[in-house]
Structure 1
């Protein structure tokens, strides 16, 4: 029996022997592909090669690709095969070979390497693909075991590369089937016929209108799910029974004090937890952070679902970290990012688990409110929409809601819940289908592909004589452009840095003796071609002519100071806070820098001062700043810091600042740290769970900021008639004086309130035998109103108090009923009617309530109506 790890290695080695290059799995974050939130198939990283937007650097490749899909999230654990995270084994040809090679290799691998009996195998093809049928027969498949299936046409998304496909099925035996007469490969959803490999003959590109056009070359894209083939080779009923899952499931079962296979209900929960924690671990390892949108929301939802199902199993204590350790142990040899990014993963697992426990508590309270409503209405079934609201808002699965209600003899309308869930799913699916790439014009893309990568000469010069290679207006190519037009320009080379790595692009001018244009921004396309967006201010530019490209050097220098300061900042943070600090985003402009990083608590004032001091010490040392190109392996072994979640090429640029900082970076920098001049941190704060942000200024911008502070201090000093050095002392004295005055005012107000309260006690009236005080009083806020009510309550002992006051143009009310339940009166109901007269509302407990109103002119009328309102309640 082969293990999952052995099966992964066997596949890759087989195709290596067939001339394929083994590549590491790409990130779960698709690169330069806005049509997808996550990597959903093995071919996703190769879409630019299939479309020839980028020329493939090798003709064929093989991978074990990490994938995440969530459309069928609700059925995970209920079926034998559905997962959120899975591994896709694949072999790929980028115009190098096609069906004649792919089909025989697949058949050879299945029958001769894995040795699956031929009599158990079936093949499905696209009905119109006669070529594939002939090749399968030639490979050794009997004609009666080749079935046409109109659904055998595959694509990774709504747009992009696609083509007909052939699928290989394994017959797992009649005992696993449904028993229907028409049960067969590709035509039945039962567990008997299991699809193990899909061979896609990638030969078309589908546009947004659904139109198919032939790709420049015919390609091969295959996908074999590792979990599926492991279940076949290990002879187990479900993917969850393979060695890829059992260690996780058995560990979770141990935490819950259960045995796997004892109870179908707990088995499903065990499968969900195992699947989801595995998915979350790999998503975190690739730098995806939990949040409330995009792929971060997908991660958070999967994680919370794991915690919910663990709760159903009886696991109350934090458990995610210990389960991650099992996953890390079994997978890190193939996916070292599970080890390399351990601190990041563990910190987010801990924080999310802790935060969600608080959310669950809120949901429990909401459920209990729903229960009270049911009992009050003498009903026993919670509606489907209410159950779905609990699920969607508080993360309560229907199973957990059912369990908690059953303890109280209640139930859930599950059919209505499923209806609500399906409506929500359809809305979400419709929304996701609206996601489309920001598609450039075909002419523009074709030109960029033809030109290839634009040489960047801006590390060494601020101006360069270059040739115009292309002019585009509104996506259409032009031979010349003139004054007033906004143009996209391709150049033969450029000194302009393109927006990348958080650094904004350079700006400047393009000019000839007869024409000039402002360069507004520069961006890089997937082919490495740099797109220069510019506005023509005078004259006419022509394709093919030489122009002088000159960057705005003052802005470039300011940007480089801030970029180099960012590197010093990251090194200082790691020195002060620890090596767990990872960059989570940045913005570098001529005016300032912004740096986002992973850390799970605010920096103390002393910590911030220490970071700032380290940075400026590094500046004063005037360390040389060197940039060197080397292999990625060399860079990592040298200890260079990389941007977490970023995928780099084989050759990288390493920027060193003495012995203080060493990072992978393609940006522009100062020559020596002394050129930065000064770095001043402006702010530090949280921007999300486990994420902090620092904003700072460097160089002349730091000087300008300090001058502004100096001017403000001088202005305050003049107002206080004090020396600038004495401002702090004088302000502290004034603050203390203000506090003393506020205390005196408070004492006077309390005395006045006491006197006013004593006056009110002399104005008690009786309504139906109940003592009542209703009056407009003079207090500054709601707190003063409550204090006066507290003064009156013990002295009135039995009765009703209704007080109103005007504060800042609004009305405040307080009502007291003492003792609680006096003659059936309810303070919240009384105050609601009183406040209504002033255009307000409110409520509260039976003994005490408060409310607000909008119309101060009607406060007197409201107080006068109190006796009438009370009589109305007493008659009920």
Structure 2
């Protein structure tokens, strides 16, 4: 097993990797990009270190460095790269992991990448791994592609390893491609042999084993895959390497499992403390031990969710959000069913992740409270259905024995009705020695999608509701939801509608079975139907016959309200009955926050932006408010600040909110009343007034004070007082169309989080004003990425950008000054050389120069010694670079002495190469220690040519 690296904790190993490439090879240490790729719609999650450099490889972007090193946070779950189903079953699969990597963008290539990899892994100064346990692979070539074997990489590895440790690999394992087109190239992997007698060479690249593990992949990007499928060489070659952090820690700590390292053991300790379960064993039977499996799943999943939610994702029903909800539910199920936890526990593990990883990824600290809150809410919601789902699952398994198959339709019903992810059903079935019919599940899912296209308010389905009202004698629905979200024991007639099997439209039905989409009309309801920009309520209906409906949307056609959703249990039947109605009160409250604050903001916009601004549209839901209004220009930072201040002042005043239905004729007389331009209002209208009773408005409509209040026609639900909104901030603005602006804003906890994050980032920017200028560039990049990944108030975004801009100018000035000083020093050194040397040949070292300034030095020396052959060189031991330049006058060239030949003769001595014209040539090298030898060789060559 390996010799322990000096300082062998996971955090130290991560830092050693970065230090090696920064100190040894002059790489720029760059921060991880967010695990949620906000700027790449092709990815659910950041799943590899190369994602943040994709634009560089595609040639659409650039960086101000050519060498980089980082640790990138990644998630592989859902999509093409999906490790979710394997997590917990073995010792090395994870949904969340870190990818250590070093990069070259048109700079170094194979030789340096291979030599540095070998040095880091085997040098006693660094990690000191046993070379006899290492195996390397190289691309064996592909005749069908016209690709030759990568003998160059093979021969480089043979300098370090015996031939039986250097293995050819096929295109699948050893040729990397970004996609169907684009940059690609051969790769070379390093594998570590864990076998006791170091005899695992035959297992390199073998699937289904954990004896020989891949620890590092070096990708040499040198081709471009064209649309035709052909390959052409790239003008600039790149290096992209990736090392699995959890795997290398395992190797360096001498463990048999990634989960036995201190990457996970602190989280295991937290799980044990929170759940009271039996501690993680980690013994020989750990992979078959259900308790250990649960620990591995929960520890992995809390890492994935903490980072994903910190970077702006959420649990939900679609795409990325649905994957995260599946991950959470998988963890909760293991805690509930395997560890025996009876109370919500998962969210309590967030602090353990923050404590363990917050120093490396500081963005997770400020987000911890919000992340834990969302996970707690999701867990509570899922646990309510988990127990019922387990009962249904056990019932479905009756009559099945080990080795048999659970039908796919049942598996889909569990997902659609009880929120059980298919992957979770697979896990539960596997625990009982059963399989699940994947094809049957896919077929049932496709069928459901086809018949429920219109569920929840699709355009065609909602159009069919209009026809139902026109063709059927449906009762008017009385809305009882102002000020209440529940109605128990309501005696009412029930009208039931199903979704047509072939058309996806609502049809009259006598009954609807469990698991099927439906629409329900009642005589009265507290459910608010979508109108006036406010979204429809969600919640549940419970009927006396046991039928239960999950309401996913509420819409209104004329006077008839439709509750759209799905029958969760029992059989939904029409006729007279009693029903208990429960609106999702939390969602309604958050929506009301945003609705009332929209009114307050509308008033503030007229005061500070445009007195003639008219509302053009709005959307208020439980997450945000969106408001469109007539205005030709973008809001200035000063206008945004003034609007925010007025709204927050009104919230702080805790103004009462009044609502009253009055004759339209009377309402239109109120001085300062606002209505939506072009909207048609009924004879009786509902007036919502903030801060002044509606009766006062009606009794004294001409009062000059009324324009200072928010007074609008509105049928929506609202807060009782403005203070309940807690806070407000504008997070974005945009142009919707010519002359129409849109602002999006947050209230309540969401606003507090955005403001707090903005203040934290602004504080970090302010602190940088006193920081050493040498370290500013990297810190500016880190804060910029954090700001881009977060939801911030526009005012904070503006301040942060201004501050970073000022700091950026400071960095530019410093870099320019440093460059000028360096060039001045080189010129002075060149002038000294010109004064101190004479003769037909001058060979000298120019201290402190580089490739660019060395040419300036040559100009200085040549100005005084234009008839002499000149050879100047410089070396930088820290960067490991050598530069040299030669100049030969025309008379000497005619005598056979050429600058290009001179350079070609000398450059190999310092490990470089180069050339040029007969009168001028340049070269680079990578062995500064050999510069004295090179200068002596230059003198000898010149003396021979001029003898």
Alignment TM-score, normalising by the size of structure 1: 0.50
Determine the structure 2 residue equivalent to 1:43.
50
Determine the structure 1 residue equivalent to 2:317.
292
Distance, in Å, in 1 between the alignment partners of 2:106 and 2:324 is 36
Is 1:229 equivalent to 2:248 in the alignment?
A: yes
Report if aligned partners of 2:404, 2:434 keep a CA contact under 8 Å in 1. Answer: no
Determine the structure 1 residue equivalent to 2:194.
172
- Out of 340, 345, 356, the position equivalent to 1:319 is 345
- Residues 417-457 of structure 1 deviation map (CA, whole Å, 9 limit, x = unaligned): 46667999999xxxxxxxxxxxxxxxxxxxxxxxxxxxxxx
After superposing the two structures, state which structure 1 stretch, 388-397 or 297-306, moved more: 388-397
Aligned ranges for residues 545-584 of structure 1 at < 5 Å?
Answer: 555-556=632-633
Distance, in Å, in 2 between the alignment partners of 1:293 and 1:154 is 30
Is 1:301 equivalent to 2:326 in the alignment?
A: yes
| Alpha-carbon shift at residue 636 of structure 1 (Å) | 8.3
| Alpha-carbon shift at residue 190 of structure 1 (Å) | 0.9
- Residues 86-119 of structure 1 deviation map (CA, whole Å, 9 limit, x = unaligned): 0011100110111121110000001012111111
Distance, in Å, in 2 between the alignment partners of 1:563 and 1:176 is 67
Distance, in Å, in 1 between the alignment partners of 2:161 and 2:365 is 44
Match of 1:27, SS state, is coil
Aligned ranges for residues 473-512 of structure 1 at < 5 Å?
Answer: none
| Alpha-carbon shift at residue 366 of structure 1 (Å) | 4.4
Report if aligned partners of 2:730, 2:743 keep a CA contact under 8 Å in 1. Answer: no
| Alpha-carbon shift at residue 165 of structure 1 (Å) | 0.5
CA 46–253 in structure 1, closer or farther in 2 if over 3 Å, else same? same
Distance, in Å, in 1 between the alignment partners of 2:180 and 2:747 is 35
Determine the structure 2 residue equivalent to 1:147.
167
Report if aligned partners of 2:409, 2:444 keep a CA contact under 8 Å in 1. Answer: no
Determine the structure 1 residue equivalent to 2:357.
331
Determine the structure 2 residue equivalent to 1:826.
none
Determine the structure 2 residue equivalent to 1:60.
67
Match of 1:217, SS state, is strand
Match of 1:102, SS state, is helix
CA 378–146 in structure 1, closer or farther in 2 if over 3 Å, else same? closer
Is 1:246 equivalent to 2:272 in the alignment?
A: no
Distance, in Å, in 2 between the alignment partners of 1:61 and 1:664 is 25
| Alpha-carbon shift at residue 37 of structure 1 (Å) | 1.8
Determine the structure 1 residue equivalent to 2:10.
4
| Alpha-carbon shift at residue 649 of structure 1 (Å) | 8.5
Match of 1:83, SS state, is coil
- Out of 87, 96, 118, the position equivalent to 2:107 is 96
Determine the structure 1 residue equivalent to 2:382.
356
- Residues 71-95 of structure 1 deviation map (CA, whole Å, 9 limit, x = unaligned): 1211111111110000011100110
Aligned ranges for residues 752-767 of structure 1 at < 5 Å?
Answer: none
Distance, in Å, in 2 between the alignment partners of 1:342 and 1:574 is 27
Report if aligned partners of 1:387, 1:417 keep a CA contact under 8 Å in 2. Answer: no
- Out of 718, 740, 764, the position equivalent to 1:591 is 740
| Alpha-carbon shift at residue 173 of structure 1 (Å) | 0.6
Match of 2:633, SS state, is helix
Is 1:69 equivalent to 2:76 in the alignment?
A: yes
Aligned ranges for residues 118-157 of structure 1 at < 5 Å?
Answer: 118-127=131-140, 128-138=149-159, 140-150=160-170, 151-157=173-179
Match of 1:141, SS state, is coil
CA 223–175 in structure 1, closer or farther in 2 if over 3 Å, else same? same
- Out of 383, 403, 406, the position equivalent to 2:406 is 383
Determine the structure 2 residue equivalent to 1:32.
39
| Alpha-carbon shift at residue 256 of structure 1 (Å) | 4.3
CA 344–398 in structure 1, closer or farther in 2 if over 3 Å, else same? closer
Distance, in Å, in 2 between the alignment partners of 1:399 and 1:630 is 43
Report if aligned partners of 2:220, 2:237 keep a CA contact under 8 Å in 1. Answer: yes
CA 6–158 in structure 1, closer or farther in 2 if over 3 Å, else same? farther
CA 81–22 in structure 1, closer or farther in 2 if over 3 Å, else same? same
- Residues 784-829 of structure 1 deviation map (CA, whole Å, 9 limit, x = unaligned): xxxxxxxxxxxxxxxxxxxxxxxxxxxxxxxxxxxxxxxxxxxxxx
Unpaired segments ≥5 residues, structure 2: 141-148, 448-629, 653-722, 753-760, 771-779, 803-947
Distance, in Å, in 1 between the alignment partners of 2:187 and 2:403 is 52
Is 1:114 equivalent to 2:114 in the alignment?
A: no
CA 167–293 in structure 1, closer or farther in 2 if over 3 Å, else same? same
Distance, in Å, in 2 between the alignment partners of 1:250 and 1:567 is 45
Distance, in Å, in 1 between the alignment partners of 2:333 and 2:731 is 28
Report if aligned partners of 1:562, 1:593 keep a CA contact under 8 Å in 2. Answer: no
Distance, in Å, in 1 between the alignment partners of 2:650 and 2:65 is 41
Report if aligned partners of 2:358, 2:364 keep a CA contact under 8 Å in 1. Answer: yes
Q: CA RMSD in A?
A: 4.6
Match of 2:785, SS state, is coil
Distance, in Å, in 2 between the alignment partners of 1:40 and 1:77 is 19
- Residues 676-725 of structure 1 deviation map (CA, whole Å, 9 limit, x = unaligned): xxxxxxxxxxxxxxxxxxxxxxxxxxxxxxxxxxxxxxxxxxxxxxxxxx
Equivalent pairs, count: 498
Aligned ranges for residues 184-199 of structure 1 at < 5 Å?
Answer: 184-199=203-218
Distance, in Å, in 1 between the alignment partners of 2:648 and 2:331 is 36
Match of 2:315, SS state, is coil
CA 305–107 in structure 1, closer or farther in 2 if over 3 Å, else same? same
Distance, in Å, in 2 between the alignment partners of 1:123 and 1:379 is 42
- Out of 623, 634, 637, the position equivalent to 2:766 is 634
Distance, in Å, in 2 between the alignment partners of 1:379 and 1:93 is 53
Distance, in Å, in 2 between the alignment partners of 1:96 and 1:46 is 15
| Alpha-carbon shift at residue 199 of structure 1 (Å) | 0.4
Unpaired segments ≥5 residues, structure 1: 428-552, 604-628, 667-876
Determine the structure 1 residue equivalent to 2:785.
647
| Alpha-carbon shift at residue 404 of structure 1 (Å) | 9.3
| Alpha-carbon shift at residue 15 of structure 1 (Å) | 0.3
| Alpha-carbon shift at residue 596 of structure 1 (Å) | 4.8
Report if aligned partners of 1:383, 1:413 keep a CA contact under 8 Å in 2. Answer: no
Report if aligned partners of 2:408, 2:444 keep a CA contact under 8 Å in 1. Answer: no
CA 399–30 in structure 1, closer or farther in 2 if over 3 Å, else same? closer
Report if aligned partners of 2:191, 2:212 keep a CA contact under 8 Å in 1. Answer: yes
Report if aligned partners of 1:22, 1:63 keep a CA contact under 8 Å in 2. Answer: yes
Report if aligned partners of 1:197, 1:223 keep a CA contact under 8 Å in 2. Answer: yes
Report if aligned partners of 2:306, 2:368 keep a CA contact under 8 Å in 1. Answer: no
Distance, in Å, in 2 between the alignment partners of 1:321 and 1:281 is 9
Report if aligned partners of 1:384, 1:412 keep a CA contact under 8 Å in 2. Answer: no
After superposing the two structures, state which structure 1 stretch, 204-213 or 182-191, moved more: 204-213
| Alpha-carbon shift at residue 350 of structure 1 (Å) | 1.8
Determine the structure 2 residue equivalent to 1:616.
none
CA 656–9 in structure 1, closer or farther in 2 if over 3 Å, else same? same
Match of 1:275, SS state, is helix
Is 1:340 equivalent to 2:361 in the alignment?
A: no
Alignment TM-score, normalising by the size of structure 2: 0.47
CA 272–569 in structure 1, closer or farther in 2 if over 3 Å, else same? farther
| Alpha-carbon shift at residue 299 of structure 1 (Å) | 1.6
Report if aligned partners of 1:290, 1:300 keep a CA contact under 8 Å in 2. Answer: yes
| Alpha-carbon shift at residue 319 of structure 1 (Å) | 1.2
Match of 2:39, SS state, is coil
Match of 1:555, SS state, is coil
Determine the structure 2 residue equivalent to 1:271.
296
| Alpha-carbon shift at residue 27 of structure 1 (Å) | 0.7
